[in-house]
Amino acid sequence: MLSKNIKKFRKKLRLSQEQLAQKAGITYSTLIKIESGANKNPTIATMRKISKTLEVSLDKLLEEV
């Protein structure tokens, strides 16, 4: 769910993967791995950066739809 939620919120803000990575202060490859599901356990620090940039809570990112 994490990968789908990040993608959903990213698209809602009309951000590319590269833009999100840059604004969140993480590497593009890290974001790609998280969004593709290759990295199923990103660090909490990384998740905080992503959630802050996407303007959603960590709970929302981890929420099952």
Q: Please, what is the angle between helix 28-36 and helix 44-54, to 10°?
A: 90
Q: Domain 2-58: give its CATH code.
A: 1.10.260.40
Q: pTM for the full model?
A: 0.92
pLDDT (tens digit per residue) in 12-54:
999 999 999 999 999 999 999 999 999 989 999 999 999 999 9
Domain boundaries, the chain: 2-58
d(CA 65, CA 26): 26
